[in-house]
């Protein structure tokens, strides 16, 4: 960062990322809803231009990557400024900048250390493809760019028509040419393409990758294939897969032996051996590493590896022989895993069951088309899963169960439709318990042998979490009694209360609780997983869908094949770079799924309002800041924002404990409280849901 000439400037009242983060940290926020920053107008004069200089203030220069905000401003993450992480870019200067662009900025720093740009210019464009909607401007038809990608209007060629959604190729400075168009910007196909362009998610695989997949049979004898371990033949062991009816990428299966004289049960968790087909140094591996994860969006998915592998050659389909890596667990009557072994196998699935069919068996309803030997295996698996559940209860943490929404949104005949949500059932919990146990066992297996790995670590919350969360829960009607520190057992006890309540307030508490706990991360350093109350954890059970799991499989392969030289394994620096990449890629995939799902919801809510008039919704307060309330709707769990200025009364501001807004007359609205509101606007482009209160006379 360099200082340039001194100019006379008025100190800007900038809205900075630092300020937004400070407000967000003051109170728990919904995990998918960022705290609303102050109005962008605070950083600009009334005519929308940057403020005129009045004081003697140093002007600095630096560069970095641009991040737009849907409300018209943005930030440049500075790569060459020693003391400033980011610089606020007010709306006039943000026009024409795109997400990820390398941008040079001149900026001033106010007395609180906040940087605001006075000039901004593009050094390098980050993307060649954009998505937006054609609208009429002052001089004709122009492109309104997806607000998640940038702001301002672009000249567009290719016979544009007003109101169309279009994917365009950038051809010059704020100039683009149409490549594909959709008559209805709110159609599911248009929304899907918007998300794919926004997050740079490809639809196809590179030609060289598909060529390698087509030649996989011919290359088996070629040099370069990693050493292969010897395999145990378990094809005579009854084996079942349990998954969603439409799933084709089946990467896990289960087997069980009846209890031994001591009551011990042996369960085999079989995982598709992807490492036999996806080799390091190939185009296939490079593409899998780039993607890092399969992407699942409503109505569409993009697998990490091509369907010829993910849905066929590697999938544990019934009646076909498959290579697998198997984790054998011995589970004592009290639920302890007393022994675990990891080895390569050859298996054959005897039955493919849906979650619903498996649940019928587990709940004693039976299933006429399930063979008797499979029924017997499921019943033993039920016993083993129940034992694991007892052990999970002893140590605490959170299982996959939670209070579920009444409705979900799906793509039906190309349109977003609200449908009744399918609740999870005992089969989901059974599979989840075995997958967690297998992942823990493999983590312990690697650590015991001094092997590297890609571990999944979830650090405990900060020391102030317990009292803050205690106060928040009390405001919503729950009293967890955490004590001085938040423990996995205390967390489990609260989760049990929420599941028993199973109402809208409990659902709102769940959403805030999960957001408050934060996300786990991939790391080469083994460590505890607080949310699961696990001493060591990783991802091993989905190598078709996750590159982290595939990396773990390759390490297991090398050890089972007799490799003892450290050079045969990835070094710590290599794993650190890989983990950073996977964390970024999985974050992008998660945001894409969340944004697509919310966009579909907003389309249905806007459609209802257009057809039936102003729509009234109910929800619970799940977050707040100085500008208003975040309200999570009861039926859908979609979160909207209710501005404080729309509330009756005056002077609304956060209370000292930051758990409510209060006006000058002493009225309060806080966490967990029920809210009835109208939908003011539902915008699938920006993902913003704006609410206004229903006023009662």
Smallest Cα–Cα separation from 109: which of 7, 12, 2? 12
Which range marks the domain in which residue 642 is found?
Answer: 614-693
Is 602 part of a structural domain of the chain? no
* Contact present, 111 and 84 (Cβ < 8 Å): no
223 is a domain residue: no
Angstrom distance (rounded) from CA 695 to CA 676: 9
| Sheet order of strands, 668-670 included | 653-654, 660-662, 668-670
> pLDDT tens-digit profile of 282-297?
999 999 999 999 999 9
Same domain, 253 and 290: yes
Count Cβ atoms below 10 Å from residue 209 Cβ, excluding itself.
19
Please check whether residue 499 lies inside any domain of the structure.
no
Together in a domain, 119 and 136: no
Co-location of 412 and 537 in the same domain: yes
Burial bucket for residue 683 (CB in 10 Å: 0-12, 13-18, 19+):
middle
For the chain (697 residues), the mean pLDDT of every run of 10, in chain order, is 43 31 36 37 38 67 95 92 87 95 94 93 96 94 97 94 97 96 95 97 96 72 71 98 93 97 97 96 97 95 96 97 98 97 98 94 83 95 97 90 72 82 87 98 98 96 82 85 91 90 79 82 97 96 98 97 94 97 97 95 89 83 93 89 94 92 94 89 94 82
Domain boundary among 550, 567, 596: 596
Q: Based on DSSP, count helices (H) and strands (E) in the chain, helices before strands.
A: 14, 32
The total of other beta-carbon atoms located within 10 Å of residue 471's CB is: 13
| 90 and 137 part of one domain | no
Please tell me the distance from the alpha carbon of residue 318 to that of residue 256, in angstroms, as a whole number: 17
**DSSP tag of 348:** E
**Three-state DSSP class for residue 291:** helix
Residue 194 located in a structural domain = no
Q: Are 223 and 344 in contact (CB under 8 A)?
A: no
CATH number of the domain bearing residue 621 = 2.40.50.140
211 Cβ neighbours under 8 A, 6+ residues apart:
283
Contact status, residue 231 vs residue 344, Cβ threshold 8 Å: yes
In angstroms, the CA 150 to CA 91 distance is: 10
Handedness of CA 359, 365, 366, 368 (dihedral sign): negative
Query: Residue 527 class from Cβ within 10 Å (0-12 exposed, 13-18 middle, 19+ buried)?
Result: middle
Whether residues 334 and 451 share a domain: the answer is yes
Q: Yes or no: say if 603 and 192 are a contact pair by the CB < 8 Å rule.
A: no
Looking at 596, 622, 653, which one is the last position of a domain? Answer: 596
How many domains is the chain partitioned into structurally?
A: 4
> Are residues 339 and 447 part of one domain?
yes
User: Is residue 493, in this structure, part of any structural domain at all?
Assistant: no
Beta strand pairing status for 153-157 and 175-182?
A: parallel
Residue 402: the pLDDT is 64
Q: Has residue 193 been placed in a domain?
A: no
Are residues 297 and 360 both part of a single domain? yes
**Do 176 and 310 belong to one domain?**
no
State the alpha helices, DSSP H only, in 476-571: 488-501, 504-517, 547-560
Task: Verify that 149 and 117 share a domain, yes or no.
Answer: no
Asked if residue 250 lies in contact with residue 201, where contact means CB atoms within 8 angstroms, the answer is no
**pLDDT score at 696:** 66
Position 512 scores a pLDDT of: 78
Query: Do 359 and 411 have their domain in common?
Result: yes
Under DSSP, the state recorded for 544 is: T
Tokens of 58: 């140093």
What does DSSP assign to residue 372? H
CB 254 within 8 A of CB 270: yes
Distance CA 11, CA 66 (A): 23
- Dihedral of CA atoms 405, 410, 412, 418 in degrees, nearest 10, equals 30
The pLDDT value given to residue 484: 85
| Helix intervals (H) in 280-371 | 283-291, 307-308, 355-362
First-to-last alpha carbon distance for the chain, in angstroms, is 58
Predicted confidence at residue 54, as pLDDT, reads 52
* DSSP string for 564-592: --GGGS--HHHHHHHHHHHHHHHHHHHHH
Q: At which of 89, 106, 124 does a domain end? A: 124
The whole-angstrom separation of Cα 613 and Cα 364 is 47
Whether residue 249 sits in one domain with residue 100: no
- The one-character DSSP state at 481 is -
The C-alpha atoms of residue 86 and residue 255 are separated, in whole angstroms, by 53
Angle between helices 572-612 and 188-198 (to 10 degrees): 150
Distant-in-sequence, close-in-space partners of 129: CB < 8 Å, separation ≥ 6: 167, 168, 169, 170, 179, 197
Residue 378 lies in a domain: yes
Instruction: Say what the pLDDT of residue 204 is.
Output: 95
Do 381 and 256 form a contact (C-beta atoms < 8 A)?
yes
In a domain, 471, yes or no: no
- The first and second tokens of residue 560, run together, are 């089972």
Name the nearest CA neighbour of 214 among 139, 150, 277, 123.
277
- Model-level pTM? 0.89
Q: Which of 252, 35, 16, 225 is nearest to 113 (CA)?
A: 16
Residue 304: what pLDDT? Answer: 98
**Same domain (yes/no): 295, 427:** yes
Q: Residue 377: which region, alpha, beta or left (left: phi > 0; alpha: psi -120 to 50)? A: alpha
Place of tokens 């992480």: 85
Torsion of CA 636, 639, 640, 645, to 10 degrees: 130
């Amino acid at each position: 960062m360099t200082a340039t000439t001194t100019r006379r400037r008025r100190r800007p009242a900038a809205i900075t990322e630092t300020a937004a983060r400070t407000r967000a940290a003051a109170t728990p926020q919904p995990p998918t809803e960022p705290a609303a920053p102050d109005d962008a107008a605070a950083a600009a004069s009334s005519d929308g231009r940057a403020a005129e200089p009045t004081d003697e203030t140093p002007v600095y220069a630096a560069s970095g990557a641009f991040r737009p905000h849907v409300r018209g401003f943005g930030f440049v993450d500075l790569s060459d400024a020693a003391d400033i992480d980011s610089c606020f870019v007010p709306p006039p200067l943000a026009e024409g900048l795109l997400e990820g662009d390398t941008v040079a900025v001149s900026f001033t720093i106010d007395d609180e250390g906040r940087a605001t740009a006075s000039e901004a210019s593009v050094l390098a464009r980050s993307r060649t493809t954009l998505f937006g909607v054609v609208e009429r401007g002052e001089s004709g038809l122009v492109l309104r760019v997806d607000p998640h990608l940038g702001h301002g209007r672009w000249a567009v060629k290719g016979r544009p028509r007003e109101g169309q959604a279009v994917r365009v190729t950038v051809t010059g400075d704020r100039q683009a040419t149409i490549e594909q168009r959709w008559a209805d910007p709110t159609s599911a196909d248009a929304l899907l393409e918007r998300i794919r362009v926004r997050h740079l998610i490809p639809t196809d695989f590179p030609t060289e990758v598909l060529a390698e997949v087509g030649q996989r049979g011919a290359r088996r004898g070629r040099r370069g294939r990693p050493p292969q371990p010897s395999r145990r033949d378990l094809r005579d062991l009854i084996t079942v897969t349990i998954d969603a009816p439409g799933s084709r990428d089946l990467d896990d299966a289960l087997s069980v032996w009846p209890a031994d004289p001591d009551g011990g049960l042996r369960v085999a968790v079989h995982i598709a051996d992807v490492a036999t087909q996806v080799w390091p140094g190939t185009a296939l591996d490079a593409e899998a590493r780039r993607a890092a994860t399969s992407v699942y969006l409503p109505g569409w998915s993009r697998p990490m590896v091509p369907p010829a592998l993910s849905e066929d050659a590697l999938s544990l389909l019934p009646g076909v022989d498959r290579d697998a890596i198997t984790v054998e667990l011995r589970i004592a009557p009290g639920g302890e895993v007393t022994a675990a072994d990891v080895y390569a196998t050859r298996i054959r699935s005897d039955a493919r069951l849906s979650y619903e069919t498996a649940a019928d068996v587990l709940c004693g309803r039976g299933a006429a088309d399930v063979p008797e030997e499979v029924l017997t295996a499921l019943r033993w698996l039920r016993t083993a899963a129940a034992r694991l559940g007892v052990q999970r209860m002893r140590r605490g943490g959170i299982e996959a169960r939670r209070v579920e929404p009444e409705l979900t949104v799906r793509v039906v005949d190309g349109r977003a439709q609200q449908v009744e949500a399918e609740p999870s059932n005992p089969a989901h919990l059974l599979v989840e318990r075995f997958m967690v146990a297998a992942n823990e066992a493999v983590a312990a297996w690697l650590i015991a042998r001094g092997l590297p790995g890609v571990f999944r670590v979830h650090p405990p919350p900060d020391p102030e979490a317990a009292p803050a969360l205690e106060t928040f829960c009390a405001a919503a009607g729950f009293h967890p009694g955490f004590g001085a520190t938040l423990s996995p057992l205390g967390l489990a006890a609260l989760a049990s209360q929420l599941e028993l309540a199973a109402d809208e307030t409990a659902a709102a508490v769940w959403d805030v609780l999960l957001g408050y706990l934060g996300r786990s991360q991939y790391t080469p350093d083994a460590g505890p997983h607080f949310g699961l109350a696990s001493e060591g954890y990783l991802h091993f059970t989905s190598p078709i869908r996750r590159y982290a799991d595939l990396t773990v499989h390759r390490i297991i392969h090398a050890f089972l094949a007799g490799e003892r030289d450290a050079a045969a394994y990835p070094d710590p620096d290599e794993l650190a770079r890989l983990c950073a990449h996977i964390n970024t890629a999985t974050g992008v995939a998660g945001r894409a799924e969340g944004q697509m799902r919310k966009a579909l919801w907003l389309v249905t809510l806007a459609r209802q309002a257009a057809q039936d008039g102003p729509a009234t919704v109910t929800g619970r307060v799940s977050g707040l800041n100085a500008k208003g309330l975040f309200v999570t709707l009861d039926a859908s769990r979609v979160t909207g924002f209710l501005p404080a200025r729309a509330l009756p009364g005056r002077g609304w501001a956060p209370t000292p404990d930051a758990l409510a807004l209060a006006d000058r007359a002493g009225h309060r609205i806080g966490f967990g409280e029920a809210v009835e509101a109208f939908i003011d606007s539902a915008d699938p482009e920006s993902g913003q849901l704006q609410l206004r209160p229903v006023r009662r006379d």
